[in-house]
Amino acid sequence: MASTERRLDDAARAAWLAYVGGLKQDEIAQIMGISRQSAQRLVSQALSAGLVKVRIDHPIARCLELARVLRDAYGLETCEVVPSLHSVEDSGVAVSHATGDHLERWLSRDEPTIIGLGTGRTLRAAVEHLPHLDCPQHRIVSLTGNVTQDGSTAYYNVLFTIADKVSAPTFPIPLPVIAASREERDALLSQKMIRAPRDLSARTDVRFVGVGPITETAPLVIDGFITREEQKRLRDKGAAGEIVGYVYDANGRLLDDEINDRVSSADLGPDPGFPTIAAANGPEKVGAIRAALTGKLVNGLITDEDTAVALTA
């Protein structure tokens, strides 16, 4: 029985790599450590066993076990682990597809729902993965500002992308993610047109967020929200990561720094009273993800195998 389950697991994994990962048989063989002929047979077996439909209709044992370990270790409400591909970037595509599927399930609900969206490359790719949906009963609100400090549109903001995909009303926050000063932030947030979406963001039923590291390639720096000098100061204070612009330490506690006083995003704190799902992967983000899980800034995670293994080490 165990060998039969293992063969089905391998067939499901090969089919996932072929039909979702878009890999050729030689690439599948290399990832799984088998011959090209064996890879071809496994994909054929998955087809004949009825595992391949619109999605791969079979759980992959290792991913399920990693997800279970992460749920137990960090008290997560939701955790999905997808197979890792041959590069961090390709694995990120797989994570974004899984995130898009989760988001689609929320959008497909009949009950009116307030959905909060953060920003980042993974979330943008997840939204691009969505089919066109007619769901006017829902409201979708940005959790972050939608512009940079110079007034240009934040490239990886998700709200404008999802507006082309779904019929639900969307509510942007027309502010920089991080204002030039705390006084400027407070003045901007006092405006009536800003208070409405900010109030809505405090009443979300579910949130999807990205996780950023505070490394040399930190999105906050690359996207122009903070300077290199500010990044160095944050790292000297023990910064481990950021979510919707808020910077936190290795224990998931918000840093005592003026950067956090300038963030215009929805509030971020431990033990959110609603699903808050982080979508992130890659070795550079492991520390930031672990810190967010430790501090219970999120209670859901969508990631890939390699990242999950690092988080369970």
As a whole number of angstroms, the distance between CA 16 and CA 83 comes to 8
Token output for 307: 């990242």
Q: Write down the pTM of the prediction.
A: 0.82
**How would you write the pLDDT of the chain (313 residues) with one tens digit per residue?**
457 777 888 999 999 999 888 899 999 999 998 999 999 999 999 988 888 875 566 658 889 899 999 999 999 999 999 999 989 999 999 999 999 999 999 999 999 999 999 988 899 999 998 999 999 999 999 999 876 666 666 656 788 889 889 999 999 888 888 988 999 999 988 888 888 888 999 999 999 999 999 988 888 888 778 889 999 999 999 999 999 999 999 999 999 999 999 999 999 999 999 999 999 999 999 999 999 999 999 999 999 999 999 999 8
DSSP letter string over the chain? Answer: -HHHHHHHHHHHHHHHHHHTS---HHHHHHHHTS-HHHHHHHHHHHHHTT-BSSSB-S--HHHHHHHHHHHHHHT-SEEEEEPP-SSHHHHHHHHHHHHHHHHHHHHT-SS--EEEE-BSHHHHHHHHTPPPB--TT-EEEEEEEEE-TTSPBPTTBSHHHHTTTB-S-EEEEEEESB-SSHHHHHHHHTSHHHHHHHHHHTT-SEEEE--EE-STT-HHHHTTSS-HHHHHHHHHTTEEEEETTEEEETTSPBPSSHHHHTB-SPP--SS-SS-EEEE--SGGGHHHHHHHHHTTS-SEEEEEHHHHHHHH-
